Amino acid sequence: MAKRVRKAIFPVGGMGTRFLPATKAMPKEMLPVVDRPLIQYAVDEARAAGIEQFIFVTGRGKSAIEDHFDHSVELEALLRDRDKDDALADLRETLLPPGDIAYVRQQEPLGLGHAVWCARHLVGDEPFAVLLADDLIMADTPCLKQMTDVFEETGGNVVAAMEVPDDQTSRYGIIDAGGATGDVRPVEGLVEKPAAGTAPSNLAVIGRYILMPEVFTELERQETGAGGEIQLTDAMARLIDRQAFHGLAFEGERFDCGDKLGFLEANIAFALSRDDLGPGTRDMIARLSKAFA
């Protein structure tokens, strides 16, 4: 029987240069979508999928992430004194159980594959998930839960996938599914950021992965790929002939919060989805659309 996916890696060492100057002193993963930071959405998604151990691969200047998932004694006391019970409950939901959270430093920005490799000793010999906070997914069933359900049926590696326009395939890792269709497709090949016109399909890998521990052996080579970085996609591609490998065309809406327009879209969409903010947001959009037409 396959081991259950209990551990998740959150690579949060990036500099967030596309959001400067906002990210000069604040991690990009702490940028808020409405009233919750991006990293909180990713952690909540992992919790909903049954993840028990949360591993953050950090870099310099990321202490705000550690503080976010820790007690704030003074703030909690202030909220209690002022009878702000709802705010106190929201604050406590950010806490993770003692011993279930770990941090490891990625000392050099050498790519996503390198960040995942940095967590190898904390993961050990079991399947694990990787979640990129930049990819925010709105779904009735959280994306990683959809993936763990597939994993329980198929075993092996599972990646989240979505169709992208042909002129955008050079931005992603692209799946060769051998022409297969359906929500769950066999992965026969992976190409990281293929040159325009060379992509095997328009099915792109986005920032959710369930991987077998053998990927660490491939990452150990420290071979560089696209952009001169150690690419996770390249390491995964070398496992395809040896292990089960599937792409899940997940149900839900993905927002690229590493992009300014994608981040703004996410804020609007999540505000519209809320009972307390939706009506006011619709009125605001209508008013601004008229004012700036």
210 band by pLDDT with thresholds 50, 70 and 90: very high
Give Cβ neighbours of residue 136 (< 8 Å, ≥ 6 apart): 33, 38, 41, 42, 254, 255, 257, 266
pLDDT per residue as tens digits for the range 247-265: 999 999 999 999 999 999 9
pLDDT at residue 269, as a whole number: 97
pLDDT per residue as tens digits for the range 129-171: 999 999 999 999 999 999 999 999 999 999 999 999 988 888 8
Instruction: Show the domains of the chain with their CATH numbers.
Output: 7-258 (3.90.550.10)
- This prediction has a pTM of 0.92
Give Cβ neighbours of residue 45 (< 8 Å, ≥ 6 apart): 131, 137, 142, 143, 144, 145
Q: Is the pLDDT reported for residue 1 higher than 60?
A: no
pLDDT at residue 281, as a whole number: 96
Structure tokens at 182: 């359906």
Residues paired with residue 99 on neighbouring β-strands, in sequence order? none
